Amino acid sequence: MTPLEVLQKHWGFNSFRDKQEEIIDAVLAKRDTFALLPTGGGKSICYQVPALLSDGVCFVVSPLIALMRDQVGQLKSRGISATYLYGGMAKKEIAIELQNIRNNKYKLVYVSPERLQSKAFKQNLKRTNISFIAVDESHCISQWGHDFRPEYRQISTLKDDHPEFKFLALTASATVQVQQDIIEQLAMQEPVVIAKSFHRSNLHYHVKYTEDKRTELLTFCKANNGTGIVYVSTRRKTVEIANFLKQQDVQADYYHGGLTNQTRNAKQDGWTNGKTKVMVATNAFGMGIDKSDVRFVFHYDMPDSIEGYYQEAGRAGRDGKDAHCLLLYEEADLRQLRSFAHSQFPSVDQIQLVYESLCNYLSLAYNSGRDARFDFDLSMFCEKFEIKAIEAYSGIKSLQKLGYIHLSEGIHRPSKLKINVSSTQLYDFQLRQPKLDGLIKTILRSYTGIYDYYTQISEHQIAQRSKRNVKAVIADIRQLEEIGIWSYSQSTDKPFITFLQPRVREIIDHDGIIKTSKIRTLERIEAVINYVESEGCRSQSICNYFGEMNLDICGKCDLCEMKLQLTKRLDFRQIEDFVVRSLTDKSLTIDELIALSTDLETTEIVEVINWLVSDRKVINDKSGYLRLRK
């Protein structure tokens, strides 16, 4: 089959999106490949299609369990065999899955980066036929990136035992420096580099200073048709702003990571189906959302990086039709953003205190705990050790940056069950235990593959079908687990912590990771502030940040619209002609240009020069001189 035939068979599409086919061809040609596809570009297709066409299994490294789970669910619904492994799985479940991988039962295996450090995982790789390794969100491998994760650095060690491995690195947002670092960290050999432009021609970027955000938000939501997203910085604000909009007759709901899985799914479905017009959310909302007709994205609070803003704003207009992206700010936002950046990076002494408290909280002895997983409640931890939540969370995130632990996102992990005995042994047990026979029969009739795989089950569904209450069903399932009939993992919504190293006495930042991360974070925040205070085209500013230069102005952002109004004034052409004549055959500073004019307003000259510079008709060099672009 050809790549297009695979796409048509499993996804029902008749053509690839821009750059997808080039990336797929490079992977199938067994080349190391770096792919930069901005939000909505269809990165997953770029490894899923060649995985189906290649001999062996494709491993996909991904940092988000929720995204892995959703991707695997979608693949299974299309008849494609896939699974996912993450750091918090039970050892029995991991052993079974590794056995299934060795037996070629999957075409795609999603794996969290911390799982790569497991000796058992690495040993199994030696006995597994691997087609290639896809590294999703590959910017996480770079200390220069906006979401650096030290466990991503372990990916390149896979080549120590398998130099023939080829990598496909994918990201939606990476500066030139980050792109180069990704290629170096993965030790790519003569990689094929394929990058799609960051320019989104259908997006209208607007930035507005205001001291009355609620009025601006309400006006914007009522003026725009279709569904939209309003991003805020805290969970509390999601509720407050959603309630405000509902009181003003706007169909709104809220979403954040602290809700139960069932509630999050219900809210997302209501928004996806158009029953809810506006979803007010933290940045937990958006990853993996397959909704092409989002007409607007509204940032009520300042984002902390251009990368984050670009990805969030890029969830609008994936259908190619016009969409609006509005960012509001006031002076207090700029101060808070800078202050928050500093609070993210506690001192080494503070990190040490959080680490020791955490180990004591989890009763972890020195030199023990590697690969150990613990359910974790941040509020209970803070209460017991009298630590402020922001200090505890910053300390834990710093420990993650240093590679000591991994904190999972709080996601719903469904109940799973796998039968450990043969069908003959199970039948004998049913004859000897008639009281449990009904439960076992119900499970066997309800779920297939349960002898080979850890299979997702629903205790509520089993209770309904066996006409019993849920508590009794769970008690009997646990009883059968204790005597070894099956292995059972009960559902949970709690986040968990995995220790990547044994407990040590002293935390050490050998590579200066915390210091470097703080510097890069402050630089990214200043880039956001420069963006909102910019006088040039918004789309140009974003593309320039990612190293894509010499683009024409978009003509759609707030600043381009303002300049368009400027060009309609009668004296604009007169001033433009004056500037062009003055710069013919020579370079001048702005002050020198102003001195040459006798009947023109200084402010208007400056406005026109700024417009000509952003429109790339005039160049303003580093020495402050203006010259015409040839």
Residues 429 and 437: their CA atoms lie apart, in Å, by 8
Fold held by 3-195? Rossmann fold (3.40.50)
Q: What does residue 618 show for φ and ψ, rounded to 5 degrees?
A: -130, 140
Q: What is the pLDDT of residues 316-336, one digit of tens each?
A: 998 889 999 999 998 889 888
Mean predicted confidence (pLDDT) in 155-165: 81
Residue 50 has pLDDT above 80, yes or no: yes
pLDDT band at 412 (very low <50, low <70, confident <90, very high): low
Q: What is the pLDDT of residues 415-424, one digit of tens each?
A: 889 999 999 9
CATH code, 548-628? 1.10.10
Q: What is the pLDDT of residues 1-38, one digit of tens each?
A: 899 999 999 999 999 999 999 999 999 999 999 999 98
Q: Alpha helices of 12-107 — where are they, by DSSP H?
A: 20-28, 43-53, 65-77, 91-102
pLDDT at 570: 56
Q: What is the pLDDT of residues 473-522, one digit of tens each?
A: 999 999 999 999 998 988 877 788 989 889 999 999 877 888 888 888 89
pLDDT at 363: 93
CATH of 203-329, one of 3.40.50.300, 3.40.1440.60, 3.20.20.70, 3.40.50.720: 3.40.50.300
Residues 200 and 198: their CA atoms lie apart, in Å, by 6
Q: What angle do CA 68, 484, 448 make, to 5 degrees?
A: 50
Residue percentage of the chain with pLDDT more than 70: 97
pLDDT at 410: 62
Other residues' Cβ atoms within 10 Å of the Cβ of residue 354: 23
- Structural domain boundaries in the chain: 3-195, 203-329, 343-411+495-505, 416-489, 548-628
Q: What is the pLDDT of residues 106-142, one digit of tens each?
A: 999 999 887 877 777 888 888 888 899 999 999 988 8
In terms of Cβ atoms closer than 10 Å to its own Cβ (0-12, 13-18, 19+), residue 183 is buried
Tokens representing residue 614 in the block: 């952003």
CATH code, 343-411+495-505? 1.10.10.10
Do the domains at 3-195 and 343-411+495-505 have one common CATH topology?
no
Strand, coil or helix: 474: helix
Buried (b) or exposed (e) across 511-521, using 16+ Cβ within 10 A? Answer: eebbeebbebb
Q: Where is average pLDDT lowest: 79-83, 410-414, 518-522?
A: 410-414
* Helix/strand/coil (H/E/C) assignment for every residue in 167-199: EEEEECCCCHHHHHHHHHHCCCCCCEEEECCCC
- Look up the pTM and report it: 0.77
Residue 300 has pLDDT above 90, yes or no: yes
